Structure 1
Amino acid sequence: MNLKLNLVSLVPILCASRLDRLNGISSPTATPVSKRQTTSFPVFNFTQPLDHFTDTGFTWSQRYFVNSRHYKPGGPVIVLDGGETSVTDRLPFLDTGIVDILANATNGLGVILEHRYYGAFLVTDRYRICSWLNNEQAAADSANFMTNVKFAGITADLTAPRTPWIYYGGSYAGARSAHMKVLYPDIVFGSIASSGVTEAAISNWGYYDIIRRAAPANCSAQFITAVKEVDDLLSNPETNSKVKSFFGMPGLTSDADLTSFFAGPLGGWQSKNWDPAVNSNSFSNNCAAMGSPNNATIDTFQGIVVSNATWNLATIVNRTSSRCPKTSTSDECFGTSNATDFQQTDLSQTWRLWQFQVCTQWAYFDSPPPDPSIPSMLSKFVDVDYSSKICKQAYPPGEFFQVPPMPNVEDVNKLGGFNIAHDRLAIIDGEVDPWRFDCPHIREDTPLRPFKLIPNAVHHYDENGLADHSQEPPEIQAIHQQEVEFVKGWLADFK
């Protein structure tokens, strides 16, 4: 939530093993950002306690970057939450994106703040117990930073609440931005939650349903046809092994291990962006490869008859996945039954961080629609039980902490969920964002409680920007201007 969470359910990456797929997984936030920043911003460190609620005696250094190019005395602080990745991935937003846009309009100081356990925290390898990786501790980090930080080269006291702080986040960090306004209303003067996934859910079936409805009709129809046909072939004992061989995975034990690969081509939808330098064409390329619906059928060497949709899907899977070595079985290459594959804890296993948050508090597990009459682009075999089993495999019970049987989503939803609201809390959503299923419901748009829906937008489309804003699409220029207007309106009321 790198929200695809994939704020946050898993989109398998097509490669040789399930573990390799996990190493490539992103969260809801992990839409690629432009690397075109031309400015080197200074990096600083702020000392945080490991536990804000119990004195452990341990501290850690939280990284943050500062953009002071627009700051003038009396200006606010615009802080961007780094979310579930290294803070260096957010530098474009500090340079030409939303932080710079708001700082420029308000004479503000721009800051991006790293989330505990991500980025520099991880490489220190000092704390191997992730029980401190939760919403409450991370929110307390931000509050402690805002009320105590001293900025180099600035003599004025810019701590909150003496100075107004505007908190921004996208996707998982967007949910955190909304939560910060609810948890610390006297510290956070205003918040902007862009694609903020404030409603944690065990089943995240709506992610693929939004893609189904937003994608070109022919593309959706082809995926639906192929997935249904493969599910039927797997459900028939006479064709089960044949269809697995057809997809290049002979002898694979789990039906879901095969069909989980079908979600990979769909994950490219989230990587769409209005900026060509950031945009991924993978979804449109896969749509083109799926072809158009027709009545043609194909006799395969495996002795089954398939539609052109299934044939084309198999071509995509076989083209983009690594072949299994002759010395290995399909289960060894593509299976998920070996729990030890997921229990490596060296520092290269960065997938474990967001996955830990998924397994403890956020969930967002892949699953088909609860109503079988709804056409599905996701296999019936990829259900909550299958999607969540990694929680038991990757995090067996330990001496100091145990992952719950199912994530405690109420830890998130008690802060408001779909109905989260507060004065000076803005909700920004994309019209065709697959994470919109987990974002706050549409409500009245007012200056004090803005609700903005960006036309044809996918995931936190307002977060990045161009150095020349006049070259941005009209809808992006519009949302940036609207954000400037309501933030300036909020600041006019600051006392």
Structure 2
Amino acid sequence: FTSLVANKEIEMKFFIIVCLCFIQEVYNWRIFHNGRIVGGNLGKPRGELLKADLNNYEKWFVQSLDHFNPGDERTWQQRYYVNEEFFNKEARNVAFLMIGGEGEATDKWMTQGAWIDYAKKYEAICFQLEHRYYGKSHPTDDLSTPNLQYLSSQQALADLATFIEAMNSLYELSPDVKWIAFGGSYPGSLAAWLRQKYPHLVHGSMSASGPLLAKLDFDEYFKIVNDDLRSHSDECLQAVKQGTAQIEILLSHMVGQRNLDKTFRLCDPIENSIENKLDISNLFETLAGNFAGIAQYNKDNRIGKSSRGANITIDTLCNIMTNQTIGAQIKRLAAVNDLLLNTYEQKCLDYKYDTMITEMKNVSWDSEIAEGGRQWTYQTCTEFGFYQTSNYKPQVFGDKFPIDFFVQQCMDIF
């Protein structure tokens, strides 16, 4: 299912949403987990933020909790944003909808991005609907597993359809209004599915990098990461491979284990976890995530939460990995790890599996994990998979995080 556009005149330049406000001491597995970066994959646009800081675009909409149970009349308040600045209030026949994803929505996007350029051209009213269970859109009292049963892509699509029908009435849009949906990554999937499922409501969709095939073992993912590293140089790719192999050698003896503690700024001594397969898997998956997270958002012109506005790219990482003055390849891997820890203002790398699971099991809306990590993990466990395993061969990050590692997380968290 390919992207759909309502008008052939709309050029397909990249729409700046891409396929994932922590306290200062967040740990490394929270930066990039299950294909999602901390704070959600949308982030904020770069550039000057003018009117978004001066206007209040935030509004609230009464939404149904369960669209598929006619006997359930419970409702909740869903947040949305609206910008009428470019709207032709005489014709009232073009509406743009930016679909929220696995993170908090922000009013910064109501004045930034390619979709705003299109809105000016086509005199559209612009809406952004925050995804249920993310940001301030809380359908239930907490994030307990029974409450998360209402978190699904199908419920989210029904939210969008209900919202469109309500906005048609509230803003007195023309009977022949053309709605165009925008989304990237998971919201890109929703944009495509929305056009497919509700063609009577949505005239067209622009889906950027939307994964449309749910796949439990997404082992091809790290093939693409490898290709990205190779696009810089084969030397970079081989340095990562050699550094990973050197980690495995150091793990085999106590002196090496203690060197790893210091070199990679581990929060807990690795020698205490050497027999814990899940801890070791988490360590290797986290270090691979240092590269995967950058590859996934390489040069995308966005600002992620807690990243202090840094724009780290594949070139940044590969320049480190090919810099022989740093030392052996393992030292260069550690330098990449230092860069990510410092960028996200972390004191150490927490590789402990039980720590991750304990955090993920917190069901309070006031918890750190409620920024989206628990919710997105639930969606991957119940609908999508998308687990970026080490099963693809050959690849340079080792073989320590197979599909069983991710399935175990689903069982332990929910």
* TM-score clears 0.5: yes
> Residue 385 of structure 1: SS of its match in structure 2?
helix
Give the drift of 1:93.
Answer: 3.1
Give the drift of 1:363.
Answer: 1.2
Measured in 2, the distance between the counterparts of 1:18 and 1:269 equals 16
The answer on whether the counterparts of 1:170 and 1:194 sit within 8 Å (CA) in structure 2 is yes
Matches within 5 A, 1:373-412: 374=394, 376-395=395-414
Measured in 1, the distance between the counterparts of 2:377 and 2:302 equals 30
Q: Which residue is 1:453 aligned to?
A: none
Matches within 5 A, 1:443-458: none
* Structure 2 CA distance for partners of 1:28 and 1:342, relative to 1, 3 Å: closer
The answer on whether the counterparts of 2:78 and 2:130 sit within 8 Å (CA) in structure 1 is yes
The answer on whether the counterparts of 1:7 and 1:364 sit within 8 Å (CA) in structure 2 is no
Pick from 367, 376, 397 the counterpart of residue 354 of structure 1: 376
Q: Which residue is 1:290 aligned to?
A: 321
Give the drift of 1:193.
Answer: 0.5
Give unpaired runs (5+ residues) of structure 1: 1-5, 9-13, 299-307, 325-329, 396-495
1:306-326 deviation line (CA, Å, top 9, x unaligned) = xx11232234446765667xx
Measured in 1, the distance between the counterparts of 2:256 and 2:383 equals 37
Give the drift of 1:272.
Answer: 2.9
Measured in 2, the distance between the counterparts of 1:288 and 1:104 equals 40
1:73-108 deviation line (CA, Å, top 9, x unaligned) = 3331011101111221xx333212133122111121
- With 129-138 and 268-277 compared, the bigger mean Cα shift is at 268-277
Measured in 2, the distance between the counterparts of 1:46 and 1:323 equals 40
Q: Residue 26 of structure 1 aligns to which amino acid in structure 2?
A: V
1:227-274 deviation line (CA, Å, top 9, x unaligned) = 23434665xxxx254443221043123432332232243022233335
Pick from 219, 231, 241 the counterpart of residue 224 of structure 1: 241
Q: Which residue is 1:246 aligned to?
A: 259
Matches within 5 A, 1:40-59: 40-54=55-69, 55-59=71-75
Give the drift of 1:46.
Answer: 1.6
> Residue 145 of structure 1: SS of its match in structure 2?
helix
Measured in 2, the distance between the counterparts of 1:108 and 1:393 equals 46
The answer on whether the counterparts of 1:180 and 1:188 sit within 8 Å (CA) in structure 2 is yes
Pick from 319, 329, 333 the counterpart of residue 313 of structure 1: 333
* Structure 2 CA distance for partners of 1:192 and 1:21, relative to 1, 3 Å: closer
Count, aligned residues: 356
* Structure 2 CA distance for partners of 1:18 and 1:47, relative to 1, 3 Å: same
> Residue 364 of structure 2: SS of its match in structure 1?
coil
Give the drift of 1:387.
Answer: 2.9
Is 1:280 matched with 2:280? no
| RMSD after superposition | 3.4
* Structure 2 CA distance for partners of 1:37 and 1:151, relative to 1, 3 Å: farther
1:22-71 deviation line (CA, Å, top 9, x unaligned) = 69943883455337321124222221110011132210122211111111
Q: Which residue is 2:125 aligned to?
A: 109
Q: Residue 105 of structure 2 aligns to which amino acid in structure 1?
A: V
Pick from 351, 355, 358 the counterpart of residue 334 of structure 1: 351
The answer on whether the counterparts of 1:7 and 1:27 sit within 8 Å (CA) in structure 2 is no
Q: Give me the TM-score of the superposition, normalised by structure 2.
A: 0.75
Q: Residue 236 of structure 2 aligns to which amino acid in structure 1?
A: C
Matches within 5 A, 1:72-111: 72=88, 73-74=90-91, 75-88=93-106, 91-111=107-127
Measured in 1, the distance between the counterparts of 2:44 and 2:255 equals 38
Is 1:118 matched with 2:131? no
* Structure 2 CA distance for partners of 1:7 and 1:243, relative to 1, 3 Å: farther
The answer on whether the counterparts of 1:227 and 1:378 sit within 8 Å (CA) in structure 2 is yes
Q: Give me the TM-score of the superposition, normalised by structure 1.
A: 0.64
Give unpaired runs (5+ residues) of structure 2: 1-17, 262-268, 304-308
Q: Which residue is 1:457 aligned to?
A: none
Q: Which residue is 1:261 aligned to?
A: 286
Q: Which residue is 1:138 aligned to?
A: 156
The answer on whether the counterparts of 1:286 and 1:316 sit within 8 Å (CA) in structure 2 is yes
Measured in 2, the distance between the counterparts of 1:276 and 1:117 equals 23
* Structure 2 CA distance for partners of 1:344 and 1:281, relative to 1, 3 Å: same
The answer on whether the counterparts of 2:321 and 2:329 sit within 8 Å (CA) in structure 1 is yes
Identity in percent? 22
The answer on whether the counterparts of 2:228 and 2:295 sit within 8 Å (CA) in structure 1 is no
* Structure 2 CA distance for partners of 1:264 and 1:143, relative to 1, 3 Å: same
Measured in 2, the distance between the counterparts of 1:194 and 1:276 equals 14
Higher relative contact order (CA 8 A, sep 6+): 2
